[in-house]
Amino acid sequence: MITDKTTRNDLNLFSQDGKASMFSVLDLTTTTQGSNALFDFFQKPFSQQKDIINMQQTISSLIDGMDKWPEKISNGTIMVVEKFLETPFAEIPEKISVLEAFFYRIFNPSDYSLLSYSVIHCTDLIVGMDEVMNLMEGLNSTSLLDEKRKEIEKNLPISILQEIKKNPNPKEWNFQKTLRICKWMRFTHRRQIRELVRIHSQLDAWLSMAKSVRKYKLTFPEWHSTDETMIHVRGMRHLLLENPVEYDLELDQKNNFLFLTGANMAGKSTFIKSLGVSVYLAHLGMGVPCSEMRLSIFDGILTNINIQDDITKGESYFYREVKRIKATAETVNDGKRWLILIDELFKGTNITDAMNCSIRIIQGLLQRKNALYVLSTHLYEISESLKNESGILFRYFETEIQNGEYTFSYRLCEGVSQDKLGMLILKKEGVLDLLQNK
Characterise 50 by phi-psi region: left (phi > 0), alpha (psi -120 to 50), beta (else). alpha
**Residue 375: closest CA among 398, 342, 347:** 342
pLDDT tens profile 88-124: 889 888 888 999 889 989 999 999 999 999 999 999 9
Confidence of residue 20 (pLDDT cuts 50, 70, 90): confident
Minimum mean pLDDT range among 52-56, 74-78, 258-262, 314-318: 314-318
Q: Which fold has domain 222-436?
A: Rossmann fold (3.40.50)
DSSP 3-state percent helix, strand, coil across the chain (nearest 5):
50, 15, 35
**Segments of the chain assigned to CATH 1.10.1420:** 31-215
pLDDT tens digits along 21-39: 999 999 999 999 999 999 9
- The SS3 of residue 69 is coil
Which burial class, exposed, middle or buried, applies to 229 when counting CB atoms under 10 A from its CB (0-12, 13-18, 19+)?
A: buried
- The CATH label, of 1.10.600, 1.20.120, 1.10.1420, 1.10.10, for the domain at 31-215 is 1.10.1420
Residue 403 CB neighbours (<10 A): 4
- pLDDT, tens digit, for every residue of 143-178? 999 999 999 999 999 989 999 999 999 999 999 999
Q: What percent of the chain has pLDDT over 90?
A: 63
In the chain, CATH 3.40.50.300 sits at: 222-436
Tell which residue, 207, 128, 192, has the closest CA to residue 154. Answer: 192
* Sheet with 338-343, side-by-side order of all strands: 300-304, 338-343, 372-376, 257-262, 392-402, 405-414
Judged by phi (left if over 0) then psi (alpha if -120 to 50, else beta), residue 59 lies in alpha
Task: Please give the mean pLDDT across all residues of the chain.
Answer: 89
Using CA of residue 241, residue 247, residue 253, residue 256, what is the dihedral sign?
Answer: negative
> In this structure, are strands 392-402 and 405-414 parallel, antiparallel, or unpaired?
antiparallel
Higher pLDDT residue, 426 or 333?
333
Residues 6+ apart with CB under 8 A from 22: 11, 12, 13, 14, 239, 240, 277, 281
The long-range contacts involving 4-8, CB below 8 angstroms and separated by at least 24 positions, are: 4/302, 6/303, 6/324, 7/276, 7/301, 7/302, 7/303
